[in-house]
Amino acid sequence: MARLFPKWTDTAFKVVLGGLGAGAVGGLTLVMLYMRTPYGEAAEYPIDQPVQFDHRHHVEDDQIDCRYCHSGAERSSYAGIPATEVCMGCHNQVWNQSPMLEPVRRSYFSGEALEWNRVHHVPDFVYFNHSIHVNKGVGCVSCHGRVDQMALDYQVAPLTMGWCLDCHRNPEPNLRPQSQITSMTWTAEQDPKGHEQAVTEYNVRHLTNCTTCHR
């Protein structure tokens, strides 16, 4: 029987198939590489928010303590995002005509919460708890970076298992006095005595068992 297609089409077919295969593998490799880049891990890239809330104004200019808005950080697993009422505690007086605050006023009067987009997120199979870290002397800046210099908050640490374990194997260099927990500028070099006291006082465990974080 005569060939339906000339012989070269076989080769073309193989090339196309090969290309598809390589494409699939290549695509997968690209996805895997992407997942490992800061972009895949959402680090360093700000996320859009319903209000242009700027930590620089509130933390640096006005010296409002982190815990005024994220009070959960020292008491519970979640640091939490402040309710509209917290904003309005100041903004029914300060800048109460600002168009930038229009969504906040709308939320306040309608009772509908603002929908902030999450920046940090560990997978559900990972157990994380703010209060233990904060109460054992790990400052916000160790995990969140210089929030006081961020226009829109972004993720600084990779939040990978390796990152958690790096500190858990040797947490001592990261410990600070309670009075400096929310300070963005405190360093152990500046205050070696405070640092040493913290190390002795907290006497932290080196928690590397799988069940510490996977329960």
Span 53-72, contacts to ligand HEC by CB under 6 A? 53, 55, 57-59, 61-62, 64, 66, 68-70
Cα torsion 66, 68, 73, 77 to 10°: value is -140
Among 42, 43, 51, 188, binds ligand HEC (CB under 6 A): 51
87 contributes a contact to ligand HEC by CB under 6 A:
yes
39 contributes a contact to ligand HEC by CB under 6 A:
no
Q: List the structure tokens of 121.
A: 């997120």
Among 12, 132, 151, 169, binds ligand HEC (CB under 6 A): 132
Cβ contact 175:133 at 8 Å:
no
Among 176, 177, 184, 199, binds ligand HEC (CB under 6 A): 184
The total number of residues written for the chain in this structure: 215
CA atoms in the 13 A half-sphere facing the CB of 32: 6
Cβ contact 91:184 at 8 Å:
no
- Closest separation in Å from C-beta 187 to ligand HEC: 14
- Would you say 29 or 208 has its CB closer to ligand HEC? 208
Burial environment of residue 181 by CB neighbours within 10 A (0 to 12, 13 to 18, 19 or more): buried
207 contributes a contact to ligand HEC by CB under 6 A:
yes
- Would you say 140 or 195 has its CB closer to ligand HEC? 140
